A and B are shown apart, each in its own frame.
Chain A
Amino acid sequence: MTEETDTQGYLDMDLLRFTTAGSVDDGKSTLIGRLLYDSKNLFEDQLEAVEESSRQRGDENVNLALLTDGLKAEREQGITIDVAYRYFATPKRKFIIADTPGHIQYTRNMVTGASTANLAIILVDARHGVIEQTCRHAFIADLLRIRHVVVAVNKMDLVDHSEEAFDKIVSQFKEFASRLDNIVDMTFIPISALNGDNVVDPSENMPWYEGTTLLYHLETVYIGSDQNHVEARFPVQWVIRPHSEKYHDFRGYGGRVAGGVFKPGDAITVQPSGFTSKIKSIESMDGPLEEAYAPLSTTITLEDEIDISRGDMIVKANNPPHKGQEIEAMICWFSDSKNLVGRSKFILRHTTKEVKAVVQEVRYKININTLHKVEDDLEFKLNDIGRIKLRTSGPLFYDSYKKNRVTGSFILIDEQSNETVAAGMIL
């Protein structure tokens, strides 16, 4: 943040959510610390606290990892337990970083962090090149449909800032990524997080690099087309009936637009009833609106009085979602106390709807290091990813996850423990 900030400018920023992925010792924490520090988003008392902790622990340098590792156990063991969210802003954008740790619950955490991200930074150690873990990170980013990936080749200082070393990693990564199809935009940046080369300021050590710095890229990458503005979807969250004198007959449907654009006058269908009507108005406390689109929370009223409740979905009449009780999906298994096998039963939560679900078939698991299908061991344990077929107790109205991240995703909940045990992406 610069001194000459004007307050109007702040009201006109947009938001980029990204994850950072890297193996242990790839310098991920150092990179985040560098981004915050060089963009002047670190506070003095935060830095002092980290310096003090580093000294107490006997660390030689200021340990920037302590900025993100907030819990007592993490500091004691020098590990990151959970997804940590960090925030920073430049005059152009606000950023939310989901920092995911690289150890045992790794896949679970990265999937969680990736589910809301527009962009993933994958760190590669310039000395080691593309390794198994790099491929795993790229695979998860692709599975969760992150459109924008930045491959940050770190520790360039340790390979003499060599262009050849960088080029080799670029081609290694591209070769692997040719097997992935959701990533539409790949950017490669040679950096040194430790020294700050190409993170916020351009590097003087790598004149051969003609691209932008990491921060500039984060500030300018175009994410406007990431939302689905075609298929109109409005899962009803809450029915608003004031029963007051002034709004005696008011019946509004509260929800967050999951896709497309809704306008007064639009012909709509309500799922599952199939009733049709027209949008009468789009309401807000500040007055009626001309339109509502993803991802805005809003309130819709209809011309006709029809019975609609939470879990129903308002869609454009000419563009319905899929409807069915048999769902093919990729899932990631999150539980370390229970495993998933055929015939397992769960509660399935999809948009604002909850149904029961039973696993009809386990198709395969994926070895996420080789991307090979595993068909001989079909029991899902913590971090396992694979494809299953579910049957639900009632119909779901859904799109493929590829088309819509909101109407194409679900979670599975264990009925006994109430824990969230899996994340699912509908095929």
Chain B
Amino acid sequence: MTILKNERDLVVPGEILAEGLDYLPGYGAFREGDRILAKNVGIVSIRERNVGVTALSGRYMPKAGDKLIGEVLDVQMSTWFLDINSPYQASLSIGEASEEYVERGADLSRFFDVGDVLYAKIISVSKHKNIQLTMKDIMCKKLRGGKIVNITPSKVPRLIGKAGSMISMIKEKTGCNIVIGQNGRVWIKGENEDLATQAVLMVNDKSHLDGLTNMVTEFLNSNPGVKVAADAKVYEYVEGDAN
């Protein structure tokens, strides 16, 4: 019947978000009798009839369709197992990794070996958290060189910015090649790696502030060490909207 919280209110688990059957529980909320309650510490979000909570902390939980950065942990007969910064390992089967014909029993480490870092997409997550990955998607590739920075997974949309504004600005200013995984891993490669890392961590630490894009721009402009190579390759990378 009534909604008891406003958009962007801070709630803790067990707080009542809405009463009556007019609303539906979204992510981070559950129904108990005729009440909708919060599951997580987070920010209330109301989308028409859906009332949910965007969590402010917690591990990355894999979702079908997410693109992420994983590290190869094990190579088996026809599968690789990857660490995806989540409580569960993900598997990538040979059919999803390569178009070419591979002999039975062939050594798969010539494609990807233990320790390789891949940018992959989740095809499916089963009820028991069996996670299937694929490399058959644009942008999916092995990431060579560079370095990886971990940020809080819930802050990934902030780092990307509206229509990719934040990340394309960082790429432009530093001339680095940056790939962001939904699981909170950020791969950075280029001449100003350290500077780009600082900018990414700045977004992570100050994600709550208004005018963050300007602050980061100022930080990057004021840094005397910035050398943008004339032929710096800047990849356009837009991963949905900020929300």
**A and B form one complex:** no
Which residues of B come within 8 Å of A, CB atoms?
none
Which residues of A come within 8 Å of B, CB atoms?
none
